[in-house]
Structure 1
Amino acid sequence: MSAVMITRKVRKWEKLPGKNTFCCDGRVMMARQKGVFYLTLFLIAGTCALFFAFECPYLAVHLCPAIPVFAALLFVFVMAMLLRTSFSDPGVLPRALPEEATFIEMEIEAANGNVPAGQRPPPRIRNVQINNQIVKLKYCYTCKIFRPPRASHCSICDNCVDRFDHHCPWVGNCVGKRNYRYFYLFTLSLSLLTIYIFTFDIVHVVMRSMNGGFLNTLKETPGTVLEVLVCFFTLWSVVGLTGFHTYLISLNQTTNEDIKGSWSGKNRGQNPYSHKNIIKNCCEVLCGPTYPSVLDRRGLLQEDSTLVSSSNPVPQTTIYSVGFLGFVDNVGEWREDGKGAQQMASSK
Structure 2
Amino acid sequence: MRRQDYTPIRLMMRRKWEVFPGRNQFCCGGRCILSHETGVFKLTLVLIVITGSLFFIFDAPYLWEHVHPIIPLISAALFAWTLAFLFRTACMDPGILPRSAIAESEFYEAASYEQGEAGAMYVPPARTKDITVNGKTMKLKYCFTCKVFRPPRTSHCSMCNVCIENFDHHCPWVGNCVGKRNYRYFFLFLFMLSLLCIDIFASIICHLVVESKEDKNSFVDALQANPASILEAVVCFFSIWSVVGLTGYHCQLVATAQTTNEDIKGSYSRKRDSQNFNPFASGSWCGNCLNVVCSPVPPSLIDKRGFVTSQYEEHYGIEACHERYGAIPIFEQPFSGGQVSRPPQAQHVTRDVDDRIQLHSHMEN
TM-score range, shorter chain: 0.7 to 0.9
1:203 aligned residue: 206
1:253 has 2:263 as partner: no
Letter matched to residue 258 of structure 1: D
SS at match of 1:240: helix
1:71 has 2:71 as partner: no
8 Å contact 2:112–2:125 — kept in the other structure? no
Q: Write out aligned runs for 1:42-121 (5 A).
A: 42-107=46-111
Q: How far does the alpha carbon of each residue in 1:15-40 deviate from its partner, in whole angstroms, 9 at most, with x for none?
A: 11010000111001000110011111
1:278 has 2:285 as partner: yes
Q: CA deviation at 1:109?
A: 5.6
Q: Which has the larger radius of gyration?
A: 2
8 Å contact 1:12–1:320 — kept in the other structure? no
Q: Normalising to structure 1: TM-score of the pair?
A: 0.81
Among candidates 167, 171, 186, match of residue 170 of structure 2: 167
SS at match of 1:22: strand
SS at match of 1:301: coil
1:149 has 2:152 as partner: yes
The farther-off stretch of 291-300 and 67-76 is: 67-76
Q: CA deviation at 1:107?
A: 4.4
Structure showing the higher strand proportion among its residues: 1
Letter matched to residue 247 of structure 2: T
Q: Write out aligned runs for 1:1-348 (5 A).
A: 8-107=12-111, 124-210=127-213, 211-266=216-271, 269-302=276-309, 315=319
Letter matched to residue 279 of structure 2: P
User: CA–CA distance in 2 between the matches of 1:303 and 1:297?
Assistant: 16
SS at match of 2:96: coil
User: CA–CA distance in 1 between the matches of 2:309 and 2:325?
Assistant: 12
| Cα separation, partners in 2 of 1:234 and 1:35, compared to 1, 3 Å | same
8 Å contact 1:55–1:204 — kept in the other structure? yes
8 Å contact 2:155–2:164 — kept in the other structure? yes
Letter matched to residue 262 of structure 2: E
8 Å contact 2:112–2:124 — kept in the other structure? no
8 Å contact 1:30–1:172 — kept in the other structure? yes
| Cα separation, partners in 2 of 1:239 and 1:81, compared to 1, 3 Å | same
Letter matched to residue 90 of structure 1: P
| Cα separation, partners in 2 of 1:144 and 1:14, compared to 1, 3 Å | same
SS at match of 2:48: helix
The farther-off stretch of 81-90 and 63-72 is: 63-72
Q: How far does the alpha carbon of each residue in 1:229-274 deviate from its partner, in whole angstroms, 9 at most, with x for none?
A: 1001000111111111110011111000001111122387111111
2:349 aligned residue: none
Q: CA deviation at 1:287?
A: 1.1
| Cα separation, partners in 2 of 1:177 and 1:108, compared to 1, 3 Å | farther
User: CA–CA distance in 2 between the matches of 1:57 and 1:319?
Assistant: 54
Gaps of 5+ in 1: 1-5, 115-119, 305-313, 323-347
SS at match of 2:97: coil
8 Å contact 1:164–1:254 — kept in the other structure? yes
Q: CA deviation at 1:123?
A: 5.3
| Cα separation, partners in 2 of 1:316 and 1:75, compared to 1, 3 Å | same
8 Å contact 2:99–2:325 — kept in the other structure? no
- The alignment's C-alpha RMSD in Å is 2.9
Q: CA deviation at 1:104?
A: 2.4
Q: CA deviation at 1:302?
A: 3.1
| Cα separation, partners in 2 of 1:122 and 1:145, compared to 1, 3 Å | closer
Q: CA deviation at 1:283?
A: 1.2
8 Å contact 2:15–2:307 — kept in the other structure? yes
User: CA–CA distance in 1 between the matches of 2:150 and 2:188?
Assistant: 27
How many residue pairs get aligned? The number is 304
| Cα separation, partners in 2 of 1:320 and 1:290, compared to 1, 3 Å | farther
